């Protein structure tokens, strides 16, 4: 029973292949951590903003490979993009509203999102460009939740945030994980945090999966080596 199944995905930029024959699957409610070169291209391809050259993506049994980003959101996959990408001159409320109006119907409404991310309650009418980094990140996550996704992609959510903000963020994400109804794929540079938060991890090396498994089974050493390409030199071929 898989929620997301990625099958031999190949994606690149011009002559550069960033994602090479990547295959993996994620169970409902699980959290997958991903890292390594090619992760952002992978995410963007899953979200539909980037065209895959070959391979497929199945979401809850539905082949979403030919769908445009907005249709994928309607199917149930939402991304919190790197750098947040809020609508700068719109208020927090409007940022959330936009996603709510154009996404899937479901349990996530403005009220339930505010309950899950209480820091936003006082910021509803503040313009997005007037927020701090941590606040923006919360809005970005809230916005993605408003689409009622089955699968939530979180791209580098701690980027540019202070340690205190990251701490608060992951507290809220832990609450989200605890609900058990959202499947998440998380890209996170901080390996400790990534391994602490995820049920499984995959490490990409030059676009290929170099390592995958449960964090407890792999151990930090193996993941670090995979991340830096130390242990798998023989897999890099011309």
Partner 1 sequence: MLDALIQGILLGGYYAILAAGLSLMFGVVRFINLAHGDLAIFGAYLVLFAVEVLGLSPWVAVAAVVPVMALLGWVLQATLFARTTRGGFLLPLLTTFGLGAVLQNGMFGLFGSDTRSLGNHIGNLSWASWQLPFGISVGQLPVITFAVAVTVLGTLQLVLSFSKLGRAIRATSSDPEAAELSGIDARAVHRAAAAIAVALAGLAGAFLAMRALINPYAGPAQLIFAFEAVVIGGIGSLWGTLIGGIVLGVAQSFGATISAQGFQLAGHLVFLGVLGVRLYLAHRRNLGGWRSVLRLPIPPPKPVPPLQSATSEGQS
Smallest gap, in angstroms, from Cβ of residue 100 to partner 1?
Answer: 9
Nearest Cα to Cα of residue 150 among 112, 180, 118, 109: 180
Smallest gap, in angstroms, from Cβ of residue 91 to partner 1?
Answer: 10
**Which two three-digit tokens encode residue 90?**
């719109």
Pairing of strands 31-36, 200-205: parallel
213: which DSSP letter? E
Which one, 135 or 183, has the nearer CB to partner 1? 135
Instruction: Please report, as ranges, the residues that interact with partner 1 according to CB under 8 A.
Output: 47-49, 68-71, 73-74, 78-79, 81, 85-90, 94, 97-99, 101-104, 132-135, 143-144, 146-147, 162, 164-165
Which one, 68 or 235, has the nearer CB to partner 1? 68
Task: State the Cα–Cα distance between residues 170 and 197, nearest whole angstrom.
Answer: 8
Smallest gap, in angstroms, from Cβ of residue 237 to partner 1?
Answer: 34
Smallest gap, in angstroms, from Cβ of residue 203 to partner 1?
Answer: 25
What strand order describes the sheet that includes 151-155? 77-80, 151-155, 183-187, 31-36, 200-205, 208-213
Smallest gap, in angstroms, from Cβ of residue 69 to partner 1?
Answer: 4
Which one, 94 or 212, has the nearer CB to partner 1? 94
Which one, 41 or 203, has the nearer CB to partner 1? 41
Find how far residue 113's CA is from the centre of its chain. Answer: 18
Which one, 68 or 221, has the nearer CB to partner 1? 68
Neighbours of 199 (CB within 10 A): 16
b/e map 69-95, b = 16+ CB within 10 Å: eeebbbbbbbbbbbebebbeeebbbeb
Smallest gap, in angstroms, from Cβ of residue 102 to partner 1?
Answer: 3
Which one, 43 or 227, has the nearer CB to partner 1? 43
Nearest Cα to Cα of residue 96 among 126, 133, 76, 59: 126
């Amino acid at each position: 029973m898989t929620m997301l199944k990625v099958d031999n995905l190949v994606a690149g930029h011009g002559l550069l292949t960033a994602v090479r024959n990547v295959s993996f699957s994620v169970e409902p409610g699980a959290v997958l951590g991903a890292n390594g070169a090619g992760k952002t291209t992978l995410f963007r391809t899953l979200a539909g903003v980037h065209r895959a050259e070959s391979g497929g993506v199945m979401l809850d049994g539905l082949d979403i490979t030919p769908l445009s980003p907005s249709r994928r959101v309607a199917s149930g996959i939402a991304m919190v993009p790197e750098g947040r990408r809020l609508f700068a001159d719109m208020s927090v409320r409007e940022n959330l509203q936009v996603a709510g109006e154009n996404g899937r119907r479901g349990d996530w409404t403005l009220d339930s999102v505010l309950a899950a991310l209480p820091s936003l309650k006082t910021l509803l009418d503040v313009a997005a460009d007037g927020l701090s980094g941590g606040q923006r990140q919360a809005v970005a996550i809230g916005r993605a939740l408003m689409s009622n996704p089955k699968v939530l992609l979180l791209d580098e959510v701690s980027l540019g945030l202070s340690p205190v903000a990251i701490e608060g963020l992951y507290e809220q994400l832990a609450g989200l994980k605890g609900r058990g109804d959202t499947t998440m794929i998380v890209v996170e540079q901080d390996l400790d945090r990534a391994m602490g938060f995820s049920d499984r991890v995959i490490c990409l090396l030059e676009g290929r999966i170099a390592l995958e498994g449960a964090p407890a089974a792999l151990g930090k050493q193996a993941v670090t080596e995979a991340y830096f390409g130390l242990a798998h030199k023989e897999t890099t071929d011309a």
